[in-house]
């Protein structure tokens, strides 16, 4: 049976019972997933919805809301408008589909509103948000969708909520994978890797089956490097290069610390690389970074501070913040996800670069292949990136790189069963920690 026959809700009247319809739809989806994969839809067949009712003419909205062809639209987003006609008149770009997992979580609560406002993809870029939650979070997800409705963002054309990645990831061009289980008391890191690994293996398979062939994936849920590795290994039809683990928050933290020490505003700090794992072995590279265009070591002459205090402050910033806040960084993480996306969709300023955790195959630095490792990247603004070649290394940096590389190789051994690598063997270094675990 086709998706539309099974669950397409006749869209509820605005504000009346729409969330119940969406909820039922999502619940049936989770059953359907066992035996059915929905066929891929083409972009040209999609009719989109709008919240900006004054700026356009609805196709037919009177007392009865027309039937939507979207099986899992939410509330006001089920109203049917002819986006194409409007796009032409307003010279907007083609609608993009962006999936967000863990959409009812804290980071998403900041990020979704940035995405919908146009701050991230641009003010001429209409967007469809596809929110992935779970049975556990479904009500909260409805609450998020209601807040998005009430925000009246002109660029937000669709909101879908669901619990089945095979439906939510349909045709997505960006997948922001934030949802992950936090490490609980007494839980071994190997246990965390395994539990979250299962989530990212399933999501990789779903992306492989239904997402755009050129989908860009940013993995935020921890441990994000190895989760990204699991995800890409389970999505063999999508270029491995398209997968990122978020280390932009670490880059931003490092810039802030250097600016503080040098007594300059943080926009004067550039060329900041975070190497390696998003963990306490990460390496904030003060050898190649610059302040006001000068090497950091020329501006900050206290090299002991750079090697010890600065490095540790960045590595452990997440943990310190958790102690203060009682929860992990959410707002600044959302900002850094926005930064990471913008760095891929706008050209990198001449001479500068940004950090991202990317697949190491073919890297020019001699880092082991087959892992996801944060490295310096530059983009032409087309969603793709190149690794930066003109970086230098010294003994201190090389020693640190070896340590974070060893940690990622150990994490990879631990999840071998999830990446087609045979039997898992977990021998993680004892001091392996997420930034938030300090
Ligand atoms: N890379 C980085 O720089 C950073 C990464 N992080 C990581 O981002 C992730 C999300 O953080 P945040 O939004 O603050 O977390 P929240 O706890 O607010 O939300 C996490 C979401 O993950 C989902 N989840 C998936 N599986 C489970 C599970 N088994 N148990 C509980 N929740 C689960 C839940 O959504 P649902 O029920 O819908 O699945 C939940 O809403 C975490 O892994 C965190 O460590 C945080 C800061 C920085
Ligand atoms: O460990 C966490 O959840 C928080 C985290 O990654 C960070 O703050 O960098």
Q: Is the CB of 102 under 6 A from ligand 2?
A: no
| Cα-to-centroid distance, 404 and ligand 2 (Å) | 17
β 273-275/283-285 pair status:
antiparallel
**Nearest-angstrom CA–CA distance, 261 and 254:** 11
**Distance in Å, CA 196 to ligand 2 centroid:** 15
pLDDT over 70 at 362, yes or no: yes
Tell me, what's the pLDDT at 323? 86
Question: Is the minimum distance from the CB of 136 to ligand 1 under 6 angstroms?
Answer: yes
Any atom of ligand 1 within 6 Å of the Cβ of 433: no
Would the pLDDT of 105 be above 60?
A: yes
Q: How far apart are CA 133 and CA 312, in angstroms?
A: 35
Ligand 1: atom nearest CA of 249 is 3
221 exposure class (CB count in 10 Å sphere: 0-12, 13-18, 19+): buried
Mean pLDDT over the full length of the chain: 83
Instruction: Between 320 and 18, name the one with better pLDDT.
Output: 320
**ipTM exceeding the 0.90 mark:** yes
The catalytic residue positions are 278
Mean pLDDT for 359-377 is 98
**Alpha carbon nearest to ligand 2 atom 2, residue:** 436
Point out the ligand nearest to the CA of residue 102. Answer: 1
CA dihedral 361, 367, 371, 375 (to 10 degrees): -90
Strand locations in 282-349, DSSP E? 283-285, 290-291, 294-295
188: Cβ–Cβ under 8 A, 6 or more apart, which residues? none
The ligand whose atoms approach the alpha carbon of 193 most closely is: 1
Are 49 and 56 a contacting pair, CB within 8 Å? no
Phi, then psi, of 214 in degrees rounded to 5: -115, 25
Ligand 1 neighbourhood includes 131 CB (under 6 angstroms): no
**CB-count burial class (<10 Å; 0-12, 13-18, 19+) for 349:** exposed
Question: Is the per-residue pLDDT at 251 higher than 90?
Answer: yes
CB-based contacts of 133: which residues, under 8 Å, 6+ apart? 101, 102, 103, 104, 140, 141, 161, 162, 163, 179
Give yes or no for a contact between 78 and 18, defined as CB atoms under 8 angstroms apart: yes
For the Cβ of 348 lying below 6 angstroms from any atom of ligand 1, the answer is: no
Q: Which two tokens stand for residue 398?
A: 């090389």
Minimum CA distance residue for ligand 2 atom 7: 318
**H/E segment holding residue 74:** none
Please check the confidence at residue 407 and state whether its pLDDT lies above 90. Answer: yes
- The model carries a pTM of 0.86
Flag whether pLDDT at 273 surpasses 80. yes
């Amino acid at each position: 049976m086709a998706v539309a026959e099974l669950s397409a809700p006749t869209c509820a009247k605005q504000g009346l019972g729409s969330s119940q319809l969406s909820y039922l739809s999502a619940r049936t989806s989770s059953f359907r997933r066992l035996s059915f994969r929905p066929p891929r839809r083409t972009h040209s067949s999609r009719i989109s919805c709008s919240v900006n009712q004054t700026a356009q003419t609805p196709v037919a909205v009177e007392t009865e809301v027309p039937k939507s062809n979207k099986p899992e639209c939410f509330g006001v987003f089920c109203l049917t408008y002819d986006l194409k006609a409007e796009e032409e008149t307003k010279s907007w770009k083609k609608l993009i589909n962006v999936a967000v997992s863990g959409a009812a979580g804290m980071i998403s609560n900041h990020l979704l509103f940035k995405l919908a406002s146009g701050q991230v993809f641009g003010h001429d870029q209409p967007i469809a948000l596809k929110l992935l939650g779970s049975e556990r979070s479904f009500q909260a997800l409805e609450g998020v969708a209601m807040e998005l409705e009430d925000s009246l963002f002109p660029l937000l054309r669709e909101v879908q909520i669901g619990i089945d990645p095979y439906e939510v990831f349909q045709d997505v061009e960006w997948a922001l994978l934030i949802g992950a289980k936090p490490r609980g008391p007494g839980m071994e890191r190997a246990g965390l890797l395994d539990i979250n690994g299962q989530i990212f293996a399933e999501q990789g398979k779903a992306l492989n089956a239904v997402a755009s062939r050129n989908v860009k994936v940013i993995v935020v849920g921890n441990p994000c490097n190895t989760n990204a590795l699991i995800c890409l290994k389970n999505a063999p039809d999508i270029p491995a290069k398209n997968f990122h683990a978020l280390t932009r928050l670490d880059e931003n933290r490092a810039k802030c610390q250097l600016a503080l020490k040098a007594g300059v505003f943080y926009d004067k700090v550039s060329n900041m690389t975070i190497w390696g794992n998003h963990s306490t072995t990460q390496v904030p590279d003060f050898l190649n970074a610059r302040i006001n265009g000068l090497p950091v070591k020329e501006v900050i002459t206290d090299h002991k501070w750079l090697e010890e205090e600065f490095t540790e402050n960045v590595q452990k910033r997440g943990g310190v913040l958790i102690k203060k806040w009682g929860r992990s960084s959410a707002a600044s993480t959302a900002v850094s996800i926005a930064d990471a996306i913008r760095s891929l969709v706008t050209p990198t300023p001449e001479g500068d670069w940004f950090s991202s955790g990317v697949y190491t195959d073919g890297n020019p630095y001699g880092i082991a292949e087959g892992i996801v490792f944060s490295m310096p990247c530059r983009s032409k603004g087309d969603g793709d990136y190149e690794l930066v070649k003109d970086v230098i290394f010294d003994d201190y940096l090389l020693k640190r790189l070896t340590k974070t590389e060893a940690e990622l190789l150990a994490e990879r051994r631990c999840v071998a069963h999830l990446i087609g690598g045979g039997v898992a063997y977990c021998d993680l270094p004892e001091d392996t920690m997420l930034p938030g675990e300090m």
